[in-house]
Amino acid sequence: MHSVPERLEYLVRGLALPRGRRVGKPGHRTAEKWIEAQFTRLALMPYAETGYALPYTSGRTHFTNYAALIPGRDQSLAPVLLGAHYDSVIDAPCADDNAASVALTLEIASRIQPVQLRHDVIIALFDAEEPPYFLGDAMGSIRFYESQTDRRGFHAALISDLIGHDVGFRSLGADTPEEIRRLVCVLGAESHPALPAIIDATPTPSGLAAIALRNSYAPDLSDHHIFRVNRHPYLFLSCGHWPHYHQTTDTPDRLNYTKLAAITDWTHALLLKLAGTPLPPHTKTFEGTDPTAEFEATRIARAIPSELLKKLGLTVPTSRAGVDAFVGHLLRETYELG
Ligand SMILES: [Zn+2]
């Protein structure tokens, strides 16, 4: 059968069509039908009795979230949510943003069997993450959380966005070394005291290095927002911004499907560990401290060789100050600031 990178590329190309998936546009309807077909192909159980589609409106605009349920052994437990947005910001393929994460979500959904895990797993593809809906009441993940879920809450949420590309440094361009290209960031480990150990106990596949950063280094960048503000354990995976972010040039041919496959394998392993670890409500003493500084520093030190850090004018981080310096460099090199 096809390899994982081949399957992911096939999914990205199926969703990332030239006219895009903007709310209210014809391409959005095409994407909706495609998601229905994918959930059906995987024989997933609909999350709601009415089916995979969870329609809602805001003003005169119609939106649709999609959700499926992989039942666990103990339905009294709060489910784990694996989610990503499927809408596009412009009328263009938007492959990295966010067809790549939709592909990851579908691939992982295909690997989890009913009653394999103790917890139910919700497979959620959210509408309306992009502006002008971002962080507003019509944002798909916010609407899902506020009015489309049951009262069991969430054991943990795993969200991904912008995970299909190699990390590149603007000053290095095509000469960006492999140690930088292979990076993926996992944010939110500070949302529960058990998360750093879960991340450390989940080895990354070869060719991938996952650094952990606290979420407050950037404003909430995606659908993990609503889980964070409601104090659920969450992790957000992203390779950050790149030159094709929100551009017509964010096309399927520019993605690295081998890296996307490695991120998919790692996220799958993380999900299994999360579902197998009790995550009791954490105490307030965790708040206001900086419990993940050493963890974040260690992950960076492990991911980036010290000679490379030196070349970038940085030292091996051992504390929050060292992580700050590294992140400052990363943001300057990868974000479009103007
Ligand atoms: Zn976007």
Cα of 297 to ligand 1 centre, how many Å? 28
Determine if the peptide bond prior to 98 is cis (ω within 30°). Answer: yes
- The sign of the CA dihedral 180, 182, 188, 194 is negative
The pLDDT of residue 338: 37
Any domain includes 296: no
Cα of 309 to ligand 1 centre, how many Å? 30
The pLDDT of residue 287: 57
Any domain includes 322: no
Cα of 329 to ligand 1 centre, how many Å? 22
Any domain includes 304: no
Cα of 127 to ligand 1 centre, how many Å? 12
Cα of 334 to ligand 1 centre, how many Å? 15
**For 162, left (φ over 0), alpha (ψ -120 to 50), or beta?**
left
Structural domain tally of the chain?
1
The pLDDT of residue 80: 98
The pLDDT of residue 284: 57
Query: Residues 112-141, buried b or exposed e (16+ Cβ, 10 A)?
Result: beeeebebbbbbbbbbbbbeebbeeebbbb
* All residues at 6 or more sequence positions from 85 whose CB lies less than 8 Å from its CB, including other chains: 98, 101, 125, 126, 127, 128, 129, 130, 140, 141, 161, 222, 223
Phi, psi at residue 68, to the nearest 5°?
-125, 165
Cα of 246 to ligand 1 centre, how many Å? 6
Any domain includes 227: yes
CA distances from 21 to 29, 49, 128, 271, 305 (A): 8, 26, 10, 28, 40
Any domain includes 332: no
Return the C-alpha torsion angle 46, 118, 264, 270, nearest 10: 140
Cα of 97 to ligand 1 centre, how many Å? 5
CA distances from 61 to 138, 278, 334 (A): 9, 40, 34
Average pLDDT, the chain: 95
Cβ–Cβ contacts within 10 Å for residue 150, how many? 10
State how far the Cα of 204 lies from the Cα of 277, in Å rounded to an integer: 19
Query: How far from each other are the two terminal CA atoms of the chain, in whole angstroms?
Result: 45
The pLDDT of residue 337: 45
Cα of 288 to ligand 1 centre, how many Å? 30
The pLDDT of residue 37: 98
Any domain includes 331: no
Any domain includes 308: no
Any domain includes 258: yes
Cα of 195 to ligand 1 centre, how many Å? 26
Q: Which of 213, 105, 231 is closest to 159 using CA atoms?
A: 105
Phi, psi at residue 305, to the nearest 5°?
-60, 145
Cβ–Cβ contacts within 10 Å for residue 33, how many? 9
- CATH number assigned to the domain comprising residue 209: 3.40.630.10
Cα of 117 to ligand 1 centre, how many Å? 32
Cα of 98 to ligand 1 centre, how many Å? 7
Residues of the chain with pLDDT under 70: 1, 283-288, 336-338
State how far the Cα of 26 lies from the Cα of 151, in Å rounded to an integer: 34
Its domain, for residue 270, covers 4-171+184-289
